[in-house]
Amino acid sequence: MKILFKTNILSFIIVLGVVAFPSCKKDKMVPPTIDFLSGSGYISADAHIALNTNFKIGVDAKRTESKDDLKTFVVTKSYDGGAETTIDNVPLTTAQAGEFMKDYNLTTRNMAGVEKYTFTVTNRDGLITTKSITITVP
């Protein structure tokens, strides 16, 4: 009788464990996305733009997995292959965790050369996506 009682208790504990602790879903570790907005008034690819000219780059960053919220969005620029300088560093809020959109109104330098703008988004898991646009100023 004691053995039957112990066996029933052990069986109950095993069944309870299987029901109470289902297997966890594994995170696929998919990095967030960044897309450049296109259309009238937007630069969405490498381009040649005149000296001291205004232009606009629009970005749309999105999470790719429902629990992997976007955490930061950083924009840097560099001239003629030199060091990058941060021009925007945005800690994203809960409202922006799924999607972050912003227009950057920029102006080319008043000298010929190459300007590179780099856009980087990081999610909760630390996964990073980076995209760049290079502007050549003739």
Complete DSSP assignment for 33-101: EEEE--STTB--S-EE--TT-EEEEEEEEE-SSTT--EEEEEEEEEETT---EEEEEEEPPGGGSSEEE
Higher pLDDT, 19 or 123: 123
> CA-to-CA distance for 40 and 98, rounded, in angstroms?
26
DSSP one-letter code for 124: T
Strand partners, 137: 113
Domains along the chain with CATH numbers? 27-137 (2.60.40.3880)
* Beta strand pairing call for 70-79 and 99-107: unpaired
Judge contact between 25 and 82, C-beta under 8 A.
no
pLDDT tens per residue, range 65-112:
999 999 999 999 999 999 999 999 999 999 999 999 999 999 999 999
28 pLDDT tier (thresholds 50, 70, 90): confident
Choice between 13 and 58, residue whose per-residue pLDDT is larger: 58
- pLDDT digit string (tens) for 34-54? 999 999 999 999 999 999 999
Using CA atoms, how far apart are residues 93 and 27, in angstroms rounded to an integer? Answer: 22
User: Could you tell me if 57 and 42 are in contact, meaning their C-beta atoms sit under 8 angstroms apart?
Assistant: yes
